[in-house]
Structure 1
Amino acid sequence: MVASDDESTAWFDDVPAAPTARARPLQPGHAVAANLASPVNQANPGSPANTANYANHANHANPASPANDANHASSAIPATPASPATPAISDDAIAAMDWPALQEAVSHCTRCPLAATRRHAVNGRGPGQAAWLAIAAAPSALDEAEQRALAGEAGQLLDNMFRAIALKPEADVYVTHLVKCRPPSSDGDDGRQRNPTADELTACRPFLARELALTGATMAMTFGQFAARGLMLGPAARGKVMHYGDAGLPVVATYHPDDLLARPEDKAKAWADLCLARTARD
């Protein structure tokens, strides 16, 4: 969905329905407070002229997936729709997982009905320890097919956006989704998709909490209107620094790369968001 051209800070007005009690989430950010990584030294992002560094997204290939070792998250694990008989893993079990166990749990998750409709669950990608977290709402059909968070041109543009503020995506940024399975449209699996429901967000929340804890991220950016609302579980805004969870993780919202590919004129506003995030992180 292409973002609107509203330049006000009240860009994300809709509030998701309150999560139901059937899937108890961890306290957002609770696991992060005791496990934040040391800040990564970064250079000054420079001036708005650097928008050219990420605008030419076609000139950069997707970076290779990191090695599956103690310092990196494991690569995507193939997954098929889970059997209804598979028991749902508990929040407490997720909170104790290391990277390999977490990737395996995501790939075979049965915590919500999306387990019955997905082709593959999509794990996050990036270094196992990362100062920055990039969060979109849910996998696209391409993400699901390639089993890669933000695949294709959107992923290339995302990486170039971070390069424009002097980050190294392969070393500094972990990319993930609020919901790890693609929500199909209400008309069936015709390639289209809808926004995640409150129950789906709640079911996946412990996975995000564990990703935050394992990466030790100290800065987050959300990409797309629903990603900001879904993370904050309430009103969210462009143009300001929000704070998430008990640890007060700084969060800046901006456009999804797919929106920027469809509306290149919004790249100047996305550049301002990137600079704001870099200032908040420094």
Structure 2
Amino acid sequence: MSHKKRTKIADMLIFAALSAGAVVMIAPLLWMFSTSLKQKSDVFALPPVWIPADINWGKYLEIWEAGPLLTGIQNSLIISLSVCLVGTFSSSLAAFAFAKLRLAYKNVIFLLLLSAMMIPYPSLMIPQFSMFAGMGWVDTLLPLIIPPIFGNIVMIFFLRQYLINIPNSVIEAAKIDGSSFFGMFTKIIFPLIKPAVAAQLILWFMGVWNDYLAPIIYLNSPEKLTIQLVIANFNANYAIQTDYPLIMAASMIALLPMLVVFLIFQRQIIESIAISGVKG
């Protein structure tokens, strides 16, 4: 068998394996959308029906009255946008300092930051809750916004590794021109790392939007719940009534922003993975 034919067979096998993996990952999403269009009696029909004979869009209207879905979306947007935008700026500044500035013990501080990632979050939940309760922040969005805006350790690490590969001569030239450190960052460094920042910002936004554990610890009032808690309440209230089409419709609405973000910025997300492999 020739080398060209072996390569073609290998490519076909890889394509088949990737296609099977794609089907496994996409099938639950398609089933969720299909269920949201069904009648309650059709959800557990055997054999399973992917395309219902009687398509029902009514659940997408009913969900807005069944729970505080719009309020949950608004709260999640407030948290996600404020955390990611401000936190990305502070993380970029920190990465610039760790990578390019001459600071005493900066490597030790950086290692301490990385070691903090090894502390499991459950061990911090009670002390953090006690601290925020003493500050009167429980049942507000502040515990979910204030700590992350000071930076994300993963983003700092990623951007630092990216900045290390930028020649120091760029910094030295800016110093000779009389530029301040903040001026170097805004006019030189940030434009250079903008693709990496964009990729990390997208991934961070997706993580904050989908967060469930932290909001359920601090939020109680219906008007303060995030979208993930609203969906959990939908599941608790309507699963007993076997109203799975309503639950799936609400889940589709909650998932829609993430699908839009991924479809629009998938190039940056893929570049993020590539950059982390090459630059790291």
Q: Aligning the two structures, in what range does the TM-score lie when normalised by the shorter sequence? A: under 0.3
Structure with greater strand percent: 1
Structure with greater helix percent: 2
Q: Quick check: which has more Rg, 1 or 2? A: 2
TM-score by length of 2: 0.27
TM-score by length of 1: 0.26
